[in-house]
Amino acid sequence: MGRVARSDGWGSLPQPPLVQLQSGDSTLAATFPHPSLRATLPTRGRERGWRPSNSTPLQAMLNVSLPPFDLAEGGIWLVLARSVTVAALLSAYGTLLFRAWVVRSAAIDRTLVRLVRASLVVQAIGLMAWLVIETAALSDAANLGATLSQVAPVAFDTEFGRVCLTQFVVCLGLLPCLGAGRWRAAAGIGVISVLLQAAHSHALAMEGGISPLVLSDAFHLLSAGAWLGALVPLLLFVRAAPAADAQNAADNFSRMATVAVLILAATALYQGWVLVGSLPALIGTAYGWVALAKLGLFGALLGCAALNRFYFVPNLPAGPAAKRGLLRSIAIETGLGLGVVCAAGLLSSLPPGLHTQPVWPFRVQPSLVTIEEDPDFRQEAVLAVLALGGAVLLLALGVVVRRVRWPAVVGAVVVAWFAVPHLDLLFVEAYPTSFYHSPSEFAATGIASASALYPEDCASCHGAEGRGDGPLAASLPEPPADLTAEHLFGHTDGELFWWLSHGIEAPEGGMAMPGFADRLSEDQIWALIDYIKAHNEGLVHQSTGGWSPPVPAPDFTARCIDGRSVSIHDLKGKVVQIQFMGAGEALPKPAPTQRGVDLATIVIAAEGQSLAPSGTLCVADDPAIRSAYGIVAGVAPSALSDKIFLLDPNGWLRDMRGPGSSLLADIEQICRHPIDNPGGANAHHHHS
């Protein structure tokens, strides 16, 4: 005790550490008073608790923590090579579509052939650079010569290399069609080239085959080529053609681009929903930030397209000035399209938000907990929302009715001025790690190892049983939290990680609890969180014979007869029985099967003994397994001999029973009453 939490982060996270901008000697991402230390909810007229004192409005809203930009191996050079390759590919494909479907005049053929050939050359150079950069990353070569010596093995022996080679072949296949003027055949080959590019996407890497996500990515690329790739040939044609022909071409292009835009929007929405994963990931990961930037560029593109379609193109017959305006607008649209392609290249080098711990950039997060717990606050928030809705209606009235415009605007501002401060009831304090999820998988080894950390780092304040009655508890500014209370499961993994890493500041100043980032690694902190939860559940099981809220089975790996290794996580979808053996006992007989039930059995050897798998029985002998299951059951590890734990198909612990009880009856009960999404286990509770 007595240590002060560090303000410079917490060491090496599973991803690069948070970037925290600093002002003076203290970080702007300071901790807040622990909400559970407050005896009551805040009352009207009192500081809500999450507003930091002596701060600017910007500091009051932001914690100024930035997500790390963890580019894949190859860094910015890989992003550039990928972007150049895709831009050239879309240019070639879009030009072919433009000549095949938008403008069927041969007058511009020579120009378009040169454009396609130049695009193919740039694409080939980009592909070669991409291949070399990937080779350097895969082979870990020390210099360029060593890298080049490994290009051929990578090209012929890896899936990535074979796709690149196929793209080279397809590029060459376009040339005869161009020479013969067979534009539609060339456009068909261009479709194949674009579809091959989809093989380099996150979608195929995640799904491993054809899936809705892969198909969405393919249609996204095809639509991007039809719109963005056709902008340069449109620019060249409009510049060279008479006004009437240019207007006709622009109208034909608009029809093709409209379909492409609709498909782009739909596929982008679907891919964002899958790959970003959540609102915190959208605004708290590098992937989400780049996706938002791409969305902004897409919006600007739509603005240019609308301006062209509804203003510049109809005015083309007006004279040279109208044509110059359209040409400038198309050039700007082309530049924005190139920006979108570069953003897409950057996204491809970043881990999807779905697979990244989101860094929450705000000091608060939305929550209905405050108004759910207090009727007075609920009424206050409802009135504030209704008042704000009235302000919006007043503003709309001012827009529609000119005579009352300014009084309506002033009235809306006044109403909003008084209503907005009451909306803070809809928010609770937040931390940069509030939306982190534990990467530990509730591992048995972590729980067992953290059982030794708890007495050393936590028991002096929280007590041996975690009830907040340790020998140093009376000397603290605030009583330590009771880690045996059900309230523990109301806090997110990310909140617990922040408090254990950075400490908890007392409302009157000073540290109610020190942070442990200066002595524990992030893996140890996650393991300590798992241990605290397992210990809490063990006490519940000890007193009630069940687990509430439901708890996942501590994960471990077992050996099976065919040489496979399976984890508890791998066995989801099956009913699992984990049988602990006593000293000197032989493997039990396989459990009787039950119709319609997929049952897996894992036998845990006694300490100091080793068992070989047999038949359908898998075995494990890590002492940490016995320790972790003893903790979560609230018994000594030695008392687990001859005990059987039953897990439902979703991996939740459902029963611990001794020999002689009816296994089939227990399994039937589990199958009849599965736990799909337990509210207590996943619902997070906050105090305001």
Q: How many helices (H) and strands (E) does the chain have?
A: 24, 15
Average pLDDT, the chain: 82
pLDDT-derived band of residue 430, with 50, 70 and 90 as boundaries? confident
- Give the whole-angstrom CA distance, residue 18 versus residue 24: 18
Mean pLDDT calculated for residue range 550-561: 92
Give DSSP secondary structure letters for 68-113: ---PPTTHHHHHHHHHHHHHHHHHHHHHHHIIIII---GGGHHHHH
565-567 and 557-559 beta bridge pairing:
antiparallel
Give the amino acid at 543: S
C-alpha dist (Å) from residue 361 to 61, 142, 165, 181, 284: 9, 39, 43, 55, 6
Q: What is the maximum span of the chain, computed from C-alpha positions, in angstroms? A: 98
Mean pLDDT (whole number) for 321-332: 92
Structure tokens at 639: 């008392």
Residue 596 has pLDDT above 80, yes or no: no
Distance CA 125, CA 191 (A): 20
**Range with the poorest average pLDDT among 226-240, 443-457, 522-536, 592-606:** 592-606
Q: Report the pLDDT value the prediction gives residue 201, as an integer from 0 to 100.
A: 77
pLDDT digits (tens, 9 = 90+) for 352-380: 888 889 999 888 888 888 888 888 899 99
Instruction: State how beta strands 65-66 and 19-20 pair.
Output: antiparallel
- Matching residue, tokens 């030695």: 638
Q: Which residues make Cβ contacts (< 8 Å) with residue 325, sequence separation at least 6?
A: 312, 315
| pLDDT above 50: residue 20 | no
pLDDT digits 0-9 by tens, 215-225: 888 999 999 99
pLDDT higher than 50, residue 37: no
Distance CA 245, CA 256 (A): 17
Buried b (16+ CB within 10 A) or exposed e, 381-395: beebeebbeebeebb
Query: 534 vs 149, which has greater pLDDT?
Result: 534
pTM score of the predicted model: 0.79
Domains in the chain, start-ordered, CATH in brackets?
Answer: 75-355 (1.20.1630), 444-544 (1.10.760.10), 557-682 (3.40.30.10)
Q: Are the CB atoms for 266 and 217 separated by under 8 Å?
A: no
pLDDT band at 591 (very low <50, low <70, confident <90, very high): low
Confidence of residue 54 (pLDDT cuts 50, 70, 90): very low
pLDDT score of 8 more than 90: no
Nearest in space to 381 (alpha carbons), one of 420, 413, 414, 428: 420
pLDDT in tens, 126-162: 999 998 988 888 887 778 888 888 888 888 888 888 8
75 Cβ neighbours under 8 A, 6+ residues apart:
349
Mean pLDDT of 302-307: 92
Residue from 92, 412, 423 nearest 232 by CA: 92
Residue 6 has a pLDDT of 28
Mean pLDDT of 452-469: 88
Question: In the structure, what pLDDT confidence band is assigned to residue 213 with cuts at 50, 70 and 90?
Answer: confident
Amino acid letter, 299:
G
Distance CA 350, CA 344 (A): 10
DSSP string over 438-458: -SSTTBHHHHHHHHHHHHHHT
Q: What is the pLDDT of residue 663?
A: 67
pLDDT tens track for 241-267: 888 888 999 999 999 999 999 999 999
H/E segment holding residue 420: none
Residue 115 confidence class, pLDDT cut points 50, 70, 90: very high
Among 199, 226, 229, 232, residue whose Cα is nearest residue 214: 199
Residues contacting residue 524 through CB under 8 Å, at least 6 positions apart: 449, 450, 453
Is the per-residue pLDDT at 523 higher than 90?
A: yes
Q: Judge whether 343 and 301 are in contact, CB under 8 Å.
A: no
> What does DSSP assign to residue 259?
H
Cis peptide before 549 (omega within 30 of 0): yes
* E strands present in 211-270: none
